[in-house]
Structure 1
Amino acid sequence: MASTITKIPTKYLFMHLISSSPKPPVSRFFSTDTAENRNQKLERIADELLDLTKLERYDYSILFRLKLGLNRYGPSVSGVTSPSASSPGASASETKAAEKTAFDIKLEKFDAAAKIKIIKEVRSFTDLGLKEAKDLVEKVPVVVKKGVTKEDAEAIIKKLQELGATAVLE
């Protein structure tokens, strides 16, 4: 016995159920007047939700989850944060420094005798040619590498300092 299932849009199914039943059963908790008002209210809410833009629907879904207590992923993206989200003694600059994942390496100065070695080192961790690396090193102070992880940046700075250059992490 195979059964066939047809997909009927829920709006039509709901309207069919309302119109096909002779009268909703009267309960001791609500009368038929409130049931009809409730149906009209739900239809009005559904129509208003369908009229929202994508961004408004997204904001509404976040707000609705928060109201229901379903915010298991922390505060919403809209920037609203709870006071307990950060520690009471933490300042904004400390939280920014903690969140930073990409760093820049800035060459501040170097020993003139080690210029050629520094140019070679700059070429090794950048994709620059000899002339571009030379021009870059001669523009001291200058950022020689951007968007590096902290571990890689510290290794590069250590190499540059061994050659006689002063480099800092930004």
Structure 2
Amino acid sequence: MSLSYQSAIRCCARAAKSSSSPALRVSATPLSRQRRWQSTAPSNPKIASIVDQISQLTLLETADLVSTLKSRLNIPDMPIGGFAAAAAPATPAPVEEEEAAPAAQEKTLFNLKLQSFDAAAKPKVIKEVKSMLGLSLVDSKKFVESAPKMMKEGVPKEEGQKIVDTLKALGAVVVME
């Protein structure tokens, strides 16, 4: 371990020495080995001055610049999906419809919670929970005995209703939340 630390320290020391005098570093490296941003300069002096000014901005100032440019040039925000989401044709919708949509949106994912079970049906419920959740027999028994307990989270409505019906037929009470 200490050998890797020593080599890392030497590497950092070399990098610090080479970056301490950037004029020597740029002149010492051949033109073919220079990085793209070091070797290419904008041909237009107006653009060069803008690039210099932008490179001196702080992070907050840069974010403010980006938001100002987006609003002034009417550039929409790109969704997180990237190009695939941007490929879909954009149709502007009235604001009233967008506000009404979340209120009318129906819940699609549910959490299933085992509330209780019939004592006579305990072995059947344990076997069903074992097959549903992929637990061992001992873990399934502990799970059922510790009811009320969350069984599954983020289950689609159809699948959740099927599980509720199956366990209800065995004598268990399962709630979709």
Instruction: State the TM-score, normalized to the length of structure 2.
Output: 0.54
Structure 1 position 67 matched with structure 2 position 72 = yes
Structure 1 position 125 matched with structure 2 position 128 = no
Q: Which has the higher helix share?
A: 2
Contact 2:114 2:172 survives alignment (8 Å):
yes
**CA shift for structure 1 position 68:** 2.2
Structure 1 vs Structure 2 CA RMSD: 3.5
Amino acid at match of 1:9: T
Instruction: State the TM-score, normalized to the length of structure 1.
Output: 0.56
Distance 1:88 1:43, change over 3 A: same
**CA shift for structure 1 position 72:** 6.7
Flag structure 2 segments of 5+ consecutive residues without an equivalent: 1-35, 80-94
SS at match of 2:141: helix
- Residue from 40, 44, 50 that aligns with 1:14: 44
Q: 1-side partners of 2:70 and 2:116: how far apart?
A: 54
Q: Which residue of 2 aligns with 1:139?
A: 146
Q: Which residue of 1 aligns with 2:112?
A: 105
Q: 2-side partners of 1:152 and 1:56: how far apart?
A: 50
Distance 1:153 1:46, change over 3 A: same
Distance 1:10 1:146, change over 3 A: same
1:34-53 alignment, distance < 5 Å: 39=46, 45-51=50-56
SS at match of 2:69: helix
Amino acid at match of 2:115: E
Flag structure 1 segments of 5+ consecutive residues without an equivalent: 1-6, 16-38, 75-82
Distance 1:109 1:51, change over 3 A: farther
Q: 2-side partners of 1:53 and 1:154: how far apart?
A: 54
Q: 2-side partners of 1:14 and 1:116: how far apart?
A: 81
**CA shift for structure 1 position 140:** 1.1
- Deviation per CA, 1:117-170, whole angstroms, max 9, x where unpaired? 111111111121001010010111111223323332222112111112111112
Q: 1-side partners of 2:77 and 2:61: how far apart?
A: 21
